[in-house]
Amino acid sequence: MMNPLLEIAEVSVGQHYYWNIGEYQLHGQVLITSWVVLAIIFTLSFLGNRDLKTTPEGFQNFNEFVTEFVRDLAKTQIGEHDYLSWVPFLGTIFLFIFVSNWSGALLPYHLIEIPNGELAAPTNDINTTVALALLTSISYFYAGISKKGLGYFKRYVSPAAFLLPINVLEDFSKPLSLSFRLFGNILADELVVGVLVSLIPLIVPIPVMLLGVFTSAIQALVFATLAGAYIGEAVEEHH
């Protein structure tokens, strides 16, 4: 039987399963698990919308609950006049992160062997979280410019011109904080569970896994809420 300390030492962060396409390398394990997540979302959406009824039941009830939740989130963060067009974006971001995080906590990815590295939640990879954060940044720039035109950039010298460097730095820090917060929390949760399973395989890791399920949901909510808040800030009228 392997020494538990050696098992802990084998918990890796940087090993990946690469797909070589020409001169480029893709993180194959991230694409595999992302497809699993998208398949789960598609299946739930299909089941909830295939037989719509006036009085919702079953999966339709679940889908309407999620839709109302995202609508309320968008309305709260963006404002009553501008929120409706951003519901699809915030809903997509929230559902992808939510299902990704839960898939890492609930699906037995580690039982599936791949040539190198191991399968884990898509949000366990910094490339995924950075991509989501950059999409959010592009979205709030688009929202501000669409509503205010080039006048959107006046916010960088408001309320005073000497605040320009600070305001520019703030926009650069937003995607960094979004991506590293999500990545760090999901990675830390999976590492803690991996270490506990190596040391104490029975009973003790279960409460930590349940806590991980809870924090995974919170991380999805935090990301979507901040994305909505940034878009709301971009479209807000300053008087």
All residue ranges of the chain with pLDDT < 70 are 1-16, 108, 110-111, 117, 193-206, 208-209, 237-239
Peptide bond into 165 cis (omega under 30): no
Instruction: Give, to the nearest 10 degrees, the angle between helix 87-106 and helix 59-78.
Output: 120
Q: Which pTM value belongs to this model?
A: 0.83
The closest alpha carbon to 189, from 99, 118, 106, 96, belongs to 106
The string of pLDDT tens digits covering residues 40-83 is 999 988 888 887 787 777 788 888 889 999 999 999 999 888 88
- Paired residues of 24 in beta bridges: 21
b/e per residue 54-92 (b: at least 16 CB within 10 A)? eeeeebbeebeebeeebeebbbebbeeebbeebbebbbe
Instruction: Say what the pLDDT of residue 139 is.
Output: 93
Instruction: Say what the pLDDT of residue 5 is.
Output: 41
Instruction: Say what the pLDDT of residue 142 is.
Output: 92
- How far apart are alpha carbons 160 and 168 in whole angstroms? 13
Instruction: Say what the pLDDT of residue 214 is.
Output: 82
Instruction: Supply 32's token pair.
Output: 């595999």
- Locate tokens 């878009």: which residue? 231
E strands in the chain: 18-21, 24-27
